[in-house]
Structures are given as structure tokens and as C-alpha cells.
Amino acid sequence: REFYDKKREEGKPYKVAVIACANKLLQWIYALLKSNSPFQDIA
């Protein structure tokens, strides 16, 4: 949610901010699968 809010504050349209969040999530998933490590929520 913080990342989305940051993008919106930068003046990005709704759809651009949502796609940026989706891309970030996909990068996290790919990195976890590639390294074969479990997800650890640090928040």
C-alpha cells in the first residue's frame, strides 16, 4: 500500500500505479522462486 500511495503522490495515474505494484510483486515472487527461499514478512 505504501508503494502505491508513493506512486500516486508522484502524480502517476491509477492504472500506472497499479501496474507498478504488480510488477514489483512479480519481481519479489520470481526472486523467491529462483532462490528457493520462503517468504519472510519484515513489516
Residue pLDDT, tens place only, 9-28? 999 999 999 999 999 999 98
More confident residue, 31 or 38: 31
pLDDT on residue 39: 74
**H helices of 1-43, where?**
2-9, 14-35
Please state whether 22 falls in left (phi above 0), alpha (psi between -120 and 50) or beta: alpha
Residue matched to cell numbers 519479489: 28
Mean pLDDT of the chain: 89
Say if CB 16 and CB 3 are below 8 A apart. Answer: no
